[in-house]
Structure 1
Amino acid sequence: MRWSRAHIPTLRDDPAEAEAPSHRLLLRAGYVRQLTAGHYSLLPLAVRVRTKIIDIVRDEMDRIGAQEMLLPALHPAEPWRRSGRWELMGQEMFRLRDRRDADLALGMTHEEIFATVARELSSYRQLPQQWYQFQTKFRDEPRPKGGLLRTREFTMKDAYSFDLDQAGLDASFDAYHGAYTRIFERLGLPVLAVEASSGTMGGAGSTEFMCPAEAGEDLVVHSPECGYAANVERATSQLPPADDGPGEPAPEPFDTPGVRTIEDLARDHAAPADRQIKTLVYLLDERLTLVLLRGDHPLNEQKLVDATGAAELRPAEAAEIRAALGALPGSLGAVGVRDLPVIADEALRGRRAMFTGANRDDVHLRGVDVERDIEVGTWADLREVRKGEPCPRCGEPLRITRTIEVGHIFKLGDRYARALGAEVLDPGGKRVPITMGSYGIGVERALAAIVEVHHDDRGIVWPTAVAPYQVAVVVAQSNDEPTAQAGETLYRDLLTAGIETIIDDRPERAGVKFRDAELTGIPYRLTVGKRGLSEGTVEVTRRATGETEKIPIPEAVPHLQALLA
Structure 2
Amino acid sequence: MTGGFRLGYNPAPMPISRYSQLFIPTLKEAPADAQVASHKLLVRAGFIRQLGAGIYDVLPLAKRTLTRIEAIIREEMAAIGAQEFYLPALHPAEIWKESGRWDVMGDNMFRLKDRKGGDYCLGMTHEEIFTAIARDELRSYRQLPQVWYQLQTKFRDEPRPKSGLLRVRQFTMKDAYSFDVDYAGLDQRYDDEKGAYEKIFSRCGLDFVAVQAHSGAMGGSGSQEFMVKTDAGEDLVAACPRCRYAANTETATSRLPAEQDLPSLPVPEKFATPGVVTIEALQRQPYGVGAKRQLKTLVYMADDQPVVAVVRGDHDLNEAKLQTATGASNVRPAHPEEIPGLMGAHAGSLGAVSFTKCRVFVDLALEGRTGMTTGANEDGFHLRGVDVKRDLLAHGRLADLRTVQAGEGCPKCDGTLDVFKALEVGHIFKLGTKYSDSMKATVLTAEGKEVPIVMGSYGIGVERIMAAAIELHHDEAGIVWPLSIAPFHATVLTLGAEPELAKAAQEVCAALEQAGMDVLYDDRDERAGVKFKDADLLGIPLRIAVGRKGLAQGAVEWKLRSGKDVAMVPVGEVKAKASELLATVK
- Give the TM-score of the pair, scaled to structure 1: 0.98
Task: Determine the structure 2 residue equivalent to 1:84.
Answer: 100
- Equivalent positions of 1:451-462 (< 5 A) are 451-462=470-481
- Equivalent positions of 1:422-501 (< 5 A) are 422-477=441-496, 479-501=497-519
1:241-300 Cα deviation digits (max 9, x unpaired): 334354221111111122111111122212111111111111222222221111111101
The reply to whether residue 165 of structure 1 matches residue 171 of structure 2 is: no
Q: Indicate if the aligned counterparts of 2:263 and 2:385 stay in contact, CA closer than 8 A.
A: no
The reply to whether residue 18 of structure 1 matches residue 34 of structure 2 is: yes
**Larger deviation, residues 268-277 vs 78-87:** 268-277
Q: Indicate if the aligned counterparts of 2:211 and 2:224 stay in contact, CA closer than 8 A.
A: yes
Task: Determine the structure 2 residue equivalent to 1:396.
Answer: 415
Please state whether the residue corresponding to 1:359 is helix, strand or coil.
Answer: coil
Task: Determine the structure 1 residue equivalent to 2:3.
Answer: none
- Equivalent positions of 1:502-521 (< 5 A) are 502-521=520-539
Q: Unmatched 5+ residue regions in structure 1?
A: none
Structure-2 separation of matches of 1:352 and 1:219: 32
**Larger deviation, residues 75-84 vs 239-248:** 239-248
- Equivalent positions of 1:43-62 (< 5 A) are 43-62=59-78
**Larger deviation, residues 365-374 vs 28-37:** 365-374
Please state whether the residue corresponding to 2:352 is helix, strand or coil.
Answer: coil
1:171-220 Cα deviation digits (max 9, x unpaired): 11011111111111111101110000000000000000000011011110
Structure-2 separation of matches of 1:460 and 1:318: 47
Letter in 2 for 1:253: K
Please state whether the residue corresponding to 1:447 is helix, strand or coil.
Answer: helix
Task: Determine the structure 2 residue equivalent to 1:290.
Answer: 308
Task: Determine the structure 1 residue equivalent to 2:53.
Answer: 37
The one of 140, 149, 152 aligned to 2:169: 152
- Equivalent positions of 1:109-124 (< 5 A) are 109-119=125-135, 120-124=137-141
Structure-1 separation of matches of 2:111 and 2:18: 44
Structure-2 separation of matches of 1:245 and 1:257: 24
Q: Indicate if the aligned counterparts of 2:356 and 2:395 stay in contact, CA closer than 8 A.
A: no
The one of 320, 331, 338 aligned to 1:302: 320
Task: Determine the structure 2 residue equivalent to 1:545.
Answer: 563
Q: Indicate if the aligned counterparts of 1:475 and 1:503 stay in contact, CA closer than 8 A.
A: no
Task: Determine the structure 1 residue equivalent to 2:231.
Answer: 214
- Give the TM-score of the pair, scaled to structure 2: 0.94
1:503-557 Cα deviation digits (max 9, x unpaired): 0000011110010111101111110112222222210111100221011222222
Task: Give % identity.
Answer: 56
Task: Determine the structure 1 residue equivalent to 2:191.
Answer: 174
Q: Indicate if the aligned counterparts of 1:141 and 1:151 stay in contact, CA closer than 8 A.
A: yes
Please state whether the residue corresponding to 2:112 is helix, strand or coil.
Answer: strand
Task: Determine the structure 2 residue equivalent to 1:361.
Answer: 379
Structure-2 separation of matches of 1:501 and 1:316: 58
The one of 121, 124, 127 aligned to 1:108: 124
Structure-1 separation of matches of 2:84 and 2:336: 53
Q: CA deviation at 1:350?
A: 2.1
The one of 252, 266, 271 aligned to 1:235: 252
Q: Indicate if the aligned counterparts of 2:276 and 2:348 stay in contact, CA closer than 8 A.
A: yes
Q: CA deviation at 1:392?
A: 0.5
1:423-447 Cα deviation digits (max 9, x unpaired): 1001110110000000000100111
The reply to whether residue 193 of structure 1 matches residue 210 of structure 2 is: yes
Task: Determine the structure 2 residue equivalent to 1:183.
Answer: 200
Letter in 2 for 1:56: I
The reply to whether residue 205 of structure 1 matches residue 189 of structure 2 is: no
**Larger deviation, residues 303-312 vs 153-162:** 303-312
Q: Indicate if the aligned counterparts of 1:343 and 1:376 stay in contact, CA closer than 8 A.
A: no
Task: Determine the structure 2 residue equivalent to 1:409.
Answer: 428
Task: Determine the structure 1 residue equivalent to 2:8.
Answer: none
Q: CA deviation at 1:161?
A: 0.5
**Equivalent pairs, count:** 564
Structure-1 separation of matches of 2:481 and 2:78: 25
The reply to whether residue 95 of structure 1 matches residue 111 of structure 2 is: yes
Q: CA deviation at 1:326?
A: 2.3
Please state whether the residue corresponding to 1:50 is helix, strand or coil.
Answer: helix
**Larger deviation, residues 161-170 vs 245-254:** 245-254
Task: Determine the structure 2 residue equivalent to 1:348.
Answer: 366
Please state whether the residue corresponding to 2:357 is helix, strand or coil.
Answer: coil
Q: CA deviation at 1:346?
A: 1.3
Structure-2 separation of matches of 1:493 and 1:400: 48
Structure-2 separation of matches of 1:15 and 1:245: 57
Q: Indicate if the aligned counterparts of 1:537 and 1:550 stay in contact, CA closer than 8 A.
A: yes
Letter in 2 for 1:285: D
Q: Indicate if the aligned counterparts of 2:298 and 2:309 stay in contact, CA closer than 8 A.
A: yes
Structure-2 separation of matches of 1:496 and 1:38: 40
1:19-76 Cα deviation digits (max 9, x unpaired): 1100101111111111111111111111110000001111000001111111111111
Q: In 2 relative to 1, CA 497–397 (structure 1 residues): closer, same or farther, beyond 3 Å? A: closer
Task: Determine the structure 1 residue equivalent to 2:7.
Answer: none
The reply to whether residue 560 of structure 1 matches residue 578 of structure 2 is: yes
Structure-1 separation of matches of 2:56 and 2:512: 33
Task: Determine the structure 1 residue equivalent to 2:11.
Answer: none
Please state whether the residue corresponding to 1:322 is helix, strand or coil.
Answer: helix
Letter in 2 for 1:352: T
Task: Determine the structure 2 residue equivalent to 1:382.
Answer: 401
Structure-1 separation of matches of 2:48 and 2:356: 57
Task: Determine the structure 2 residue equivalent to 1:322.
Answer: 340
Structure-2 separation of matches of 1:137 and 1:339: 41
Structure-1 separation of matches of 2:70 and 2:129: 22
Letter in 1 for 2:449: K
Q: Indicate if the aligned counterparts of 1:60 and 1:183 stay in contact, CA closer than 8 A.
A: yes
Structure-2 separation of matches of 1:336 and 1:564: 69
Q: Indicate if the aligned counterparts of 2:38 and 2:468 stay in contact, CA closer than 8 A.
A: yes
Q: Unmatched 5+ residue regions in structure 2?
A: 1-16
Q: Which runs of 4+ in 1 moved over 6 A?
A: none
Letter in 2 for 1:209: F
Q: In 2 relative to 1, CA 338–555 (structure 1 residues): closer, same or farther, beyond 3 Å? A: closer
Letter in 2 for 1:161: S
Letter in 2 for 1:270: G
Structure-1 separation of matches of 2:344 and 2:459: 47
Backbone CA RMSD of aligned residues: 1.2
Structure-1 separation of matches of 2:86 and 2:155: 16
The reply to whether residue 280 of structure 1 matches residue 298 of structure 2 is: yes
Q: Indicate if the aligned counterparts of 2:239 and 2:418 stay in contact, CA closer than 8 A.
A: yes
Structure-1 separation of matches of 2:504 and 2:336: 77
Task: Determine the structure 2 residue equivalent to 1:125.
Answer: 142
Structure-1 separation of matches of 2:396 and 2:375: 19
Q: CA deviation at 1:332?
A: 1.2
Please state whether the residue corresponding to 1:173 is helix, strand or coil.
Answer: helix
Structure-1 separation of matches of 2:203 and 2:463: 16
